Chain A
Amino acid sequence: KAGVTQTPRYLIKTRGQQVTLSCSPISGHRSVSWYQQTPGQGLQFLFEYFSETQRNKGNFPGRFSGRQFSNSRSEMNVSTLELGDSALYLCASRAGSNYGYTFGSGTRLTVV
């Protein structure tokens, strides 16, 4: 059974650009959530999607957005990149509320 797949693995962008990250959950998992991990702030929740609907959103500016497709794949977009957006972005999926979350290997974003 394939795990959670995130692409790309690494990205380097310049300030002001925008970026799109992709996440394919484990087959059958309809819940997909996104997290930002930085050395200073640790792991912070960005948003969660279920059946193409955003159910929950973290405390991040509107430059951070996402969506989920009918096949449960999800994308996250960050516009007008800032240096502080440099982080590891992790995606997680789960089978239901009685199960743990399975994380992907993440996308390492560097903003220069």
Chain B
Amino acid sequence: EVQLLESGGGVVHPGGSLRLSCAASGFSFGDYTMAWVRQIPGRGLQWVASSAPSTFYAGFVRGRFTITRDDSKRTVFLHMRSLSAEDTAIYYCAKARSPYTSETFNVWGQGTMVTVSS
């Protein structure tokens, strides 16, 4: 069974940093684009970053976030710094539907909550 399991969320002070992890199983991890998508509770979905393995970022990231992956450990990370209250959201890890493509996501994790608050 294909599964994604996020971890690393929590409460962080404004200006702080956090690293999210997403452990994958059930598919050939290295062949797939992986992404992070976030959702402010009660609001819509917002793509954050992708690793294909070349990396791509949404404009609002502004150099604050870095996506990395360790194919040997089947894990993708999101390193976040200079966090502000506007970054408070559920962060989902997602897998591209087909290998060697970046079209859309057919498997999502359960999400990890990041709260930026003093």
Do A and B assemble together? no
